[in-house]
Structure 1
Amino acid sequence: MPTSYNRDVEPHEVRTYSKLKSKLTALTEQKHVAANEKECFQMRMRIFSFASIVFISTAVASAEDWPQWLGPDRSSTWKAEDIVDSFPKSGLKVEWRIPVGLGYSGPAVVNDKVYVLDYVKDSGKVVNNPGGTSKIEGKERIRCLSAEDGKTIWEYDYSCPYEISYAAGPRCTPTVADGKVYALGAEGNLTCLDAQTGKVAWSKDFKSDYKSKTPFWGHAASPLVDGDAVYCLVGGPGSIAVAFDKETGKELWRALDNEETGYCPPTMITHEGTKQLLIWHPKSLNSLNPKTGQVYWSLPLKPQYNMSVTVPRKQGDFLYVSGIGDEAAWIELNGTSQPKISWKGKTREALFCCNSTPFIVGDTIYGSDIQSGDFIAVSLQDGKRLWASKKVTQAGRRDRHATAFIVKHDDHFFLFTEKGDLVLADLSPSVYKEISRFHVLEPTNEAFGRPVVWSHPAFANQSLFARNDKELVRVSLKK
């Protein structure tokens, strides 16, 4: 049976409202004793000005949040102020460390709360074999923690046996939107909870509700909330992609049919004024009408091992899509009509991403190459490599899948590596320039015979929030 725990904490919004109410009451009382109409007008303006200041301050604070995978708009961009432009020689300040269970799920941070999924194993052995699965018994947990000290505010768990490859916990980052948390577990349990209390609003079980087959490496596509809908990769007959009403969980539409679901999170783009929902399953990249599920266009793109993982990156009128097996393409969009491939990547020339999402600046794309383990810069004009470096991940000569998660801040980049290092660097078409490096976490998981941490961090509250499968840590990045 599902269980929950809740610590009685006064919500941030309640504290803000109480302060605002007290101030407005005081100002209103002053208004009532004003000597003339001019003073009344001045008092009303003071009330309006104060309310505006509070509203603007709250909006600025929320702009610091990291409410979902890859950040506020899934652009891998952090817009915080007063952030370090190099690390102190003594190292960065660790604000706190707290124990967590197994998991690849990255944290989300909203309104001074941290949301993260983990797994408490009761029995079985996790064997990270890319060609096989592990059977384990245990519980998936959805946890809400205080960003200030890491203490538990609430948590919700449910029994969830695993039979997947790399079975060390949930993969998806929770999505926080409009007071709700949307969490998708590795076996297809989608849960919507109240962000303040942890009370369950609604839930779905993809295997029983849609007759879906859990992907070989588990569900890894973080839910996307846009407008009134939450979009998920589900699986099952005619339901690769499903849109749910975000308040009730009612199905709005289902679309696409394929034997394998894939792992690429739903992605929303706007092109020529029209929103398109991109769904990449192992056979094709598809553009859908997000309101109806109608397919605008479909383009065959077939990575090896059904590993459609990396989200397409849009730049102007083009998309970059890449995966394992020399599957990389620079695609020219054509409104909602069929696009065309401008060029396809060649072996040992283009960038082939998988575990992490690449980043485009101008005519150059940067990212971790799955084949070589190098961090690479590629020209988008012709798909040829400009440079390759092992300095970022410090990978060995044969370390395939070496990974660094990329987040841009101002003119610099934060790179969180699979060794648990946070790197501050400059990236340009001509060179990789490392500014600072700090070891944040031990790589407590394992892949291809080496220790790794494969969890995307969050950047919020002038801090880094990162986890492995033993602890979650907050590190200050305040200047």
Structure 2
Amino acid sequence: MLHRSVSIRHCWLACSLLLVSSLTPARAENWPQWRGAKLDGMSSEKNLPVTFSNVKDAEQGISWKLDLPGAAGSTPVVWDDHIYVTSVDGEKLVLICASTAGKELWRQTLATGNKDVRGDEGNSASPSPCTDGKHVWAFFANGVLGCFTKDGQEVWKMDVQDRYGKLKIAFGMTSTPVLDNGKLYLQLIHGEGNPKTREAVIVALDAATGKELWKHDRVSDGKDECEHSYASPVMYRDDKQAYLIAHGADYVTAHSLDDGHELWRCGDLNPKGNYNPTLRFVASPVAAEGIIVVPSAKNGPVYALKADGKGDVTDNEAAYVWKRAKETPDVPSPLIVDGLVYLCRENGNLICMDAKTGEEYYNERTTADRHRASPVYADGKIYLCARKGTVTVVKAGKNFEILAKNDMVDSISSSPAISNGKLYLRTYKALYAIGK
């Protein structure tokens, strides 16, 4: 009788655990950095919205809207039930924390002195924050960098210009830092004049304290505006190696995570025989296992590089997977999904290519408008944000198919974030959660 009683209790417990697990939703995927957890613009979330609208009297699919104090191009980042986004508030440069229910939780001012650039193109709140769930780091184009707890308490703050020299870059240092395994990596590629004296460095900081771990001088023979990079660094990682990729001043370079020394570099992104002195990089590379897709600017080339390069690989044909002579994205970063490379050009054309061969499958117009945001992927869909507020949803695959065009009725230059089964869009006026 005792054995039977124990057996019944064990059965009841097992059934209860099974019931609880079936009722507990799967843990939402976080979006802790500008292009997601792996800096590749991809999410594994499912059942994301396709059709939505912010048109007055015809709103559809919008879960909530949170008004923001000013415009910016930074992407929101999400960890569990916290969302972090940077913005301007008049002359203030602020970090805002909101709940995933759409309520502002706290706001911190890191600096003052916003600078608008090229009319409506950007301002000092262009870099995106990053978080590990316990802390959040925010960087602004004037060089101010700060770390806060998830509850808004300041941990440390610094101005990179005090430590690494005055930022000599026309539109501000818009490069977003990378957070990886307790380190914060910064790409500060700027300067003017003599390559030996220009201040261009790659830096690793202890994320918890802001203490410098290493600094590497980023050498380049780039000239004029090409000395300036607005791109953000990314990580490459597979089961054999991991390194930081920096992009700017005519080169893409790989750096050791231990001390920053250069592992390899590739040039000819701004060919010397037909040099363009205004070819500054804005779009960042994207990495997948065994391949790094490197954009340039202004209808320049796109290179797909192997991940195991050594030294200067510029003239080493064996280091390339393929080359595309022109039609680079100018601002949006590339996307690699299921063996396909997607390039969103600034005019709204979307190019789909084979990642292994570079064969083009299509080159089609999505929305005829400026595109500044980088495309993101989830659940078989690619989301592209146009500057005037149209969000085009394209079916992933070799055949071009537009699933929907959605009007947000406001300017968008920041890339979308995906978490909690929702699409988070930051327009110039507000932060939106879209989905059920």
**What TM-score comes out, normalization by structure 1 length?**
0.74
CA contact (8 A) 2:373 2:414 kept: no
Shift of 1:184: 0.6
After TM superposition, the structure 1 = structure 2 runs for residues 49-448 of structure 1, keeping only pairs within 5 Å, are 60-63=26-29, 65-84=30-49, 92-100=60-68, 101-121=70-90, 138-148=91-101, 150-163=102-115, 165-166=117-118, 167-195=122-150, 197-235=151-189, 240-258=201-219, 260-271=227-238, 273-303=240-270, 304=276, 305-333=278-306, 335-338=308-311, 339=313, 340-346=319-325, 350-362=326-338, 364-370=340-346, 373-380=348-355, 383=358, 385-390=360-365, 392-395=366-369, 401-403=370-372, 405-429=374-398, 431-443=399-411
CA contact (8 A) 1:191 1:202 kept: yes
Between stretches 415-424 and 178-187, larger displacement belongs to 415-424
User: Matches of 1:334 and 1:117 in 2, distance apart?
Assistant: 33
Unaligned runs of 5+ in 2: 191-197, 221-226, 271-275, 314-318
Q: Residue by residue, what CA displacement relative to the aligned partner does 1:384-430 show, whole Å, maximum 9, x if unpaired?
A: 6443322x2233xxxxx54464222222222222221223221433x
Change (3 A) 1:272 1:301: farther
Q: 2:301 aligns to what SS in structure 1? A: strand
User: Matches of 1:242 and 1:300 in 2, distance apart?
Assistant: 21
CA contact (8 A) 1:234 1:241 kept: yes
Which residue of structure 1 lines up, in the alignment, with residue 194 of structure 2? none
Unaligned runs of 5+ in 1: 1-34, 122-137, 396-400, 444-452
User: Matches of 1:145 and 1:363 in 2, distance apart?
Assistant: 36
User: Matches of 2:260 and 2:24 in 1, distance apart?
Assistant: 38
Q: Which amino acid aligns with 1:354?
A: D
Shift of 1:352: 0.6
CA contact (8 A) 1:415 1:423 kept: yes
CA contact (8 A) 2:46 2:378 kept: no
CA contact (8 A) 2:291 2:307 kept: no
Shift of 1:279: 0.8
Shift of 1:296: 0.8
CA contact (8 A) 1:393 1:404 kept: no
Q: 1:208 aligns to what SS in structure 2? A: helix
Change (3 A) 1:155 1:460: same
CA contact (8 A) 2:147 2:154 kept: yes
Q: 1:323 aligns to what SS in structure 2? A: coil
User: Matches of 1:261 and 1:227 in 2, distance apart?
Assistant: 28
User: Matches of 2:38 and 2:99 in 1, distance apart?
Assistant: 23
Q: 2:162 aligns to what SS in structure 1? A: helix
Shift of 1:245: 0.5
CA contact (8 A) 2:304 2:321 kept: yes
Q: Which amino acid aligns with 1:333?
A: K
CA contact (8 A) 1:282 1:302 kept: no
Change (3 A) 1:91 1:79: farther
Q: Residue by residue, what CA displacement relative to the aligned partner does 1:273-318 show, whole Å, maximum 9, x if unpaired?
A: 0111111121311111112112111222445535222222234433
Between stretches 307-316 and 162-171, larger displacement belongs to 162-171
User: Matches of 1:373 and 1:46 in 2, distance apart?
Assistant: 56
Which residue of structure 2 lines up, in the alignment, with residue 460 of structure 1? 419
CA contact (8 A) 1:262 1:282 kept: yes
User: Matches of 1:154 and 1:432 in 2, distance apart?
Assistant: 43
Aligned residues with identical type, % of pairs = 20
Q: 1:66 aligns to what SS in structure 2? A: coil
**What TM-score comes out, normalization by structure 2 length?**
0.81
Change (3 A) 1:295 1:102: same
CA contact (8 A) 1:67 1:176 kept: yes
User: Matches of 2:39 and 2:24 in 1, distance apart?
Assistant: 23
Shift of 1:321: 0.9
Shift of 1:190: 0.8
Q: Which amino acid aligns with 1:165?
A: V
CA contact (8 A) 1:327 1:344 kept: no
Shift of 1:169: 3.9
The one of the two structures with greater contact order (alpha-carbon pairs below 8 A, sep at least 6) is 2
User: Matches of 1:192 and 1:57 in 2, distance apart?
Assistant: 33
Between stretches 304-313 and 171-180, larger displacement belongs to 304-313
CA contact (8 A) 1:212 1:235 kept: no
CA contact (8 A) 2:52 2:62 kept: no
Shift of 1:163: 4.8
Q: Which amino acid aligns with 2:172?
A: G
Q: Residue by residue, what CA displacement relative to the aligned partner does 1:334-384 show, whole Å, maximum 9, x if unpaired?
A: 6252443454432xxx431122122224554222224x5422234556656
Change (3 A) 1:281 1:141: same
Considering only aligned residues, what root-mean-square deviation do their CA atoms show, in Å? 3.6
User: Matches of 1:227 and 1:315 in 2, distance apart?
Assistant: 19
Bigger radius of gyration among the two: 1
Q: 1:352 aligns to what SS in structure 2? A: coil
User: Matches of 2:164 and 2:430 in 1, distance apart?
Assistant: 34
